[in-house]
Amino acid sequence: MLSTLGGGGGKPAKPSFVSYVTPEEINQTEKECSRKEKHPDLLPGEVIFCSAGPVLKSIKDDLFQRVVYGTLLCTNFRVSFISDEAPSDEEAAQLFKNKLYGENDIPLTCVDHIYGGFDDKKKLIISGFVKNKYPSKIIVCCKDLRLFHFSLAYAKEEDAKKIFQGIVYHCLEPKSLKCVFAFSYGEKTLLNKENQTKPKTVMFDTSEDWAQEIKRTKGNCKLISNNADFSISAKLPQFFIVPTHVTQEDLTKFDGKGIPIWCWSHHSGCALFKTASLPLMQEDASSQLYKSYMEGMLNAVAQTHLYSVKTEELSDSLPTVQDIQQSYSKFKQFFLLDNTNDFWMTDVKWFSSLEGSCWLDIIRQCLAKAVEVVECLEKENTNVLIMEEEGSDLCCVISSLVQLMFDPYYRTLGGFQSLIQKEWVMGGHRFLDRCNHLHLKDKEQSQAPVFLLFLESVWQLQQQYPPAFQFSETYLTVLSDSIDVSVFSTFLFNSPHHMASIAKAMLEPGQRSPVNWPTVWDWSVQFDSRAQDFFINPLYMERSRQDKAPRKMPRPKHQRHQSLPSSAFKFSPSAKKGFLKDETDSLKKMLRVKRLSRWMNSPDSAQASTREFFVAWQRRPLDYHGLLLPCLEGPTLRLWSQRYLRWIPEAQIFGGGSITILKKLADLLAEVQDLRGNLDRQACRADFNHQGVVARAKSSIQLSSAFPFTMPRSRSFKPAIPIGPLHSLITDSLADQEDEENLGIV
């Protein structure tokens, strides 16, 4: 097994460095470990590559810097530090523990950058091969924004060198997909298919799933199921839905490009489609072909409802994936701080730095674009076709946001997971390339946190309308972390075709059964059920019983009655618009021409109309189970502080944070549910006890704002006192003035 692994990854090894240890060496290192009685609980399929000790890890406990001795190891899954200190009771009792990796473990794919510390200098490491001196310190920056400082100064020189090379090699050098841990893990684990996902997640890998979805939204499009062997296109999923008027012939023309893929149907009958756009602007022989093909496709889309369609080329108005990557690289640096001094120095210009990274602005642009699409569907009832070169990046962001704003089903935990399956996994988002987990040099250009951008936008929506979402902020944070845990099939491939072909290739060397990659939705892989309680938002308001449809459906129905008909927008006096629309409608009916309009002709008027749409929506009473529109004014878009500040001790509010409220709510909710349960039992049996309620007695641990990710360790803490340049305030003539003009001298 090992040789297969080694074969994949060995190619770029420098002669001086043994890329993969031989089985003998593994035995040795394992022996060494057992001698020290320090070894991690290895996961199935996990093997240790190298280890060194004693290594010092510096940690900041409640603002005090201290060091811990231990052993540093590198396995095929993670870099792990095993502390010589016995875990404290609090750590042992930690509720929110990830079963795959602990607080001192870094999954290899989670490593973002490695710095080497040479005396007092810090150098970015790009290769394990160092000419002169090996660094005495390794600083590891993680994609989940943890920061580790390890000192190798006390380890044997040989060990230090080996662990440094090992870590750098396994974390940063290009490797083949089969070296990713999911493959060894999947071989050794049995998946419990039954309770795979507790909240039912629709995987959209069968035609039934799609059929059910189109039934739920009452769409009138047709299901295409003859791509099961990817004969139509390898870029499309095995099953997908297109407008009824798209013919079989149309499907096979341009390798999947230009086909309007159905995303979701509005209750009025109009629908949202996405497509990988054809290069229409080129002036060559094929462009005429493209143009007439696109016209046909638009016609097909238009016929779905009222012969109207609006198209939007997303790359015209939204940042490119390179912009997204660039912005995020800048942005994340603000949270990888070496020391307290850095923290306070960057605090002074905090707001302008945030703005300078443009990250929040990109989120705003995505949300704004989604609102524009919502406006077309809701107010004008036109079909919308969004396009983009590959149709699997910003198309996924916008289409999922639109659906999240409209459809309360997607705001449940199961619904949200299904949405990601539908739009992202089956929609062929190139997770592998966008994450560049394999560190392939030629893929560096395509690396971009597009999915994270989506999660960020969801977080913004969620913090504006907390009762509308069944899942919690913690859930989103954990999901964003899981992207970089190389165990789940969900984020491992570029498309359904990619996954299928790899799975097929794996089968060939006479294996017993297909590989079992867990999906990320099987949360039991990472968290026990108590920890999974943190995924539920205690503020979520379920629809009251009267509101619910009387029939029990296997999946929640798409709720039609909640969004008002377009007549509800009559306050916004757009008489001119209405008039024009009537005319074009009759015109269209007469001439049977499609209306193809572009939005961004005059950005100002588009903005004004969107604002009008928002204001009209806002005037209506807020329905958490209806259409939700984000407020995009400056102060309302905020920093996702749980994700970004959780590891920074200076930024932790001890005994505070919104978690203190959520905890109270969750406790009360549990109490109410217990009572409810008691009541139900009481109704049939006549024995009643209070035990359930008492057993839930609150644990009165002091929490901090970073809960549940970190816990304050000691109870007696010192406040974080700002230091550094506090004199940045412009001292003008005012500052020199006296508070009182006539200072009385007694």
Partner 1 sequence: MELLTDAPLLPGEERVIDKDIIYICPFSGAIKGRVLISNYRLFFRNVDADPAVTLEVPLGAISRVEKMGGASSRGENSYGLDITCKDMRNLRFALKQEGHSRRDIFDILFRYAFPLSHGLQLFAFLSQEKFPENGWNVYNPMQEFRRQGLPNDQWRVTFLNSTYELCDTYPSILVVPYTASDEDLRRVATFRSRSRISVLSWIHPENQAVITRCSQPLVGMGGKRNRDDERYLELIRATNRTTSKLTIFDARPNVNAVANKATGGGYEGEDAYQNAELVFLDIQNIHVMRESLKKLKDIVFPNVEESHWLSSLESTHWLEHIKLVLSGAIQVADRISSGSSVVVHCSDGWDRTAQLSSLAMLMLDGYYRTLRGFQVLLEKEWLSFGHKFASRIGHGDKNHADADRSPIFLQFVDCVWQMTKQFPTAFQFNEHFLVTLLDHLYSCRFGTFLFNCESMREASVRPQPPHWHAPQPPAVSQGHWSDGVTVVRLFQEVKKKTVSLWSFINSEPSSYSNPFFTVDLSHVLYPVASMRHLELWVSYYIRWNPRIRQQQSPMEQRYKELLALKEQYLKKLEELQLSDRAPQVFPRGPHLSNSASPSPSSPPPRVTRLQTPF
> 666: part of which helix (H) or strand (E)?
helix 659-684
Q: Which stretch binds partner 1 (CB under 8 A): 76-84, 391-399, 436-444, 671-679?
A: 671-679
Asked if 488 and 435 count as a contact pair (C-beta separation under 8 A), the reply is no
Is residue 668 part of the contact set for partner 1 (CB under 8 A)?
A: yes
Measured from the CB of residue 688, what is the shortest distance to partner 1 in angstroms?
6
| Contacts of partner 1 in 648-667 (CB under 8 A) | 648, 650-658, 660-661, 664-665
Which residues fall within 8 angstroms of residue 220, CB to CB, at 6 or more apart?
244, 265, 269, 304
In 377-519 the beta strands, taken as DSSP E runs, fall at 383-388
Nearer to partner 1, 190 or 729 (CB): 729
Separation CA 74–CA 108 (nearest Å): 9
Is residue 64 part of the contact set for partner 1 (CB under 8 A)?
A: no
Measured from the CB of residue 164, what is the shortest distance to partner 1 in angstroms?
33
Nearer to partner 1, 294 or 539 (CB): 539
Q: Which of 553, 593, 600, 622 binds partner 1 (CB under 8 A)?
A: 622
Separation CA 488–CA 479 (nearest Å): 11
Q: Which stretch binds partner 1 (CB under 8 A): 138-146, 394-402, 507-515, 643-651?
A: 643-651
| Contacts of partner 1 in 77-106 (CB under 8 A) | none
Q: Which residue has the tokens 């638009």?
A: 298
Measured from the CB of residue 745, what is the shortest distance to partner 1 in angstroms?
4
Measured from the CB of residue 103, what is the shortest distance to partner 1 in angstroms?
22
What is the identity of the amino acid at 102? G
Separation CA 372–CA 611 (nearest Å): 10
Measured from the CB of residue 366, what is the shortest distance to partner 1 in angstroms?
16
Measured from the CB of residue 626, what is the shortest distance to partner 1 in angstroms?
14
**From residue 542 to residue 581, what is the string marking binding to partner 1 with x (rule CB under 8 A)?**
-----------------------------x----------
Nearer to partner 1, 504 or 676 (CB): 676
**From residue 444 to residue 473, what is the string marking binding to partner 1 with x (rule CB under 8 A)?**
---------------------xxx------
CA angle 65, 164, 438 (to 5 degrees): 105
- Provide the token pair at 75: 């396995």
Asked if 232 and 496 count as a contact pair (C-beta separation under 8 A), the reply is no
Measured from the CB of residue 379, what is the shortest distance to partner 1 in angstroms?
18
Asked if 521 and 490 count as a contact pair (C-beta separation under 8 A), the reply is yes
Task: Classify 396 as helix, strand or coil.
Answer: helix
Is residue 354 part of the contact set for partner 1 (CB under 8 A)?
A: yes
Is residue 671 part of the contact set for partner 1 (CB under 8 A)?
A: yes
- Provide the token pair at 676: 């409810």
| Contacts of partner 1 in 357-416 (CB under 8 A) | 360
| Contacts of partner 1 in 703-742 (CB under 8 A) | 705, 717-722, 726-731, 734-741
- Provide the token pair at 492: 């491992």
Measured from the CB of residue 715, what is the shortest distance to partner 1 in angstroms?
9
Measured from the CB of residue 580, what is the shortest distance to partner 1 in angstroms?
23
Measured from the CB of residue 563, what is the shortest distance to partner 1 in angstroms?
18
Q: Which of 244, 288, 636, 699 binds partner 1 (CB under 8 A)?
A: 636
What is the identity of the amino acid at 155? A
Q: Compute CA 620 distance to the chain's CA centroid, rounded to the nearest angstrom.
A: 31
Separation CA 257–CA 275 (nearest Å): 7
Separation CA 475–CA 520 (nearest Å): 12
Q: Which stretch binds partner 1 (CB under 8 A): 172-180, 276-284, 454-462, 610-618?
A: 610-618
Q: Please provide the size of the chain in residues.
A: 746
- Phi, psi for 365 (deg, rounded to 5): -60, -40
